[in-house]
A and B are shown apart, each in its own frame.
Chain A
């Protein structure tokens, strides 16, 4: 079963707006990662946040992690049409060597 659950399942915004996606998980983790998948392509790693970190930035991406609530959020600022894709959170459960992916958020940026 999928540990990470993304919210919302689909998001449509205008170019230039900010997009926020959320992820909840169930067990203790070593880290949490976000991946992007363009239509018909493989997943691409975006950013990783460790369990002892609360916030991380990479370009227009900002990730937060709240281990007490077992939740994370991904913020994409100043969205562009090229950001249209599905975004997945993936947790690295403590004691495991594998990632558990959520169902993803389908983001559409309207020009």
Chain B
């Protein structure tokens, strides 16, 4: 199994630019989670999907952030426009219904907004 795949692994962009982060969950997993990790705030849940449907987006910082899951094997997290305070490592994780909520994390995307 390839595990959760995220791309790109590193992204450097300038303030105001649009950023799109991508995630491919483990095949057969029906829940997908987007997290953000910073030194100051730790690991924060941004949004999660069950069966491609967004269930809880209360962690999304503001309207500049949006996430989609058009099918069971792909999700995107978009930031438009990006700001320096968005600099963080963004993780995607997935799980199955029967895993007692054990989550499998991707390697993360390190985003730097200049």
Q: Mark A residues whose CB is within 8 Å of B.
A: 2, 30-31, 33, 35, 41-45, 48, 50, 88, 92, 97-104
Contacts and interface: CB of A to CB of B under 8 A. Distances in A.
B102 A45 contact: yes
B37 to A, nearest CB: 9
A60 to B, nearest CB: 20
Interface in B1-56: 4, 31, 33, 42-43, 45, 48, 50, 55-56
Contacts of A42: 4, 91, 93, 105-108
A99 B42 contact: no
> Which of A45, A50, A92 lies at the interface centre, i.e. has the most chain B CB atoms within 10 A of its CB?
A45
A45 B101 contact: no
B74 interface: no
Contacts of B107: 41-42
Interface residues of B, number: 21
A76 B106 CA distance: 25
A88 B37 CA distance: 12
B65 interface: no
Given A43-B91, A97-B55, A98-B48, A2 B102 contact: no
Interface in B90-108: 91, 93, 100-108
A35 B91 CA distance: 14
A32 to B, nearest CB: 10
Contact of A99 (B4, B45, B55, B106): B45
Contact of B42 (A44, A50, A102): A102
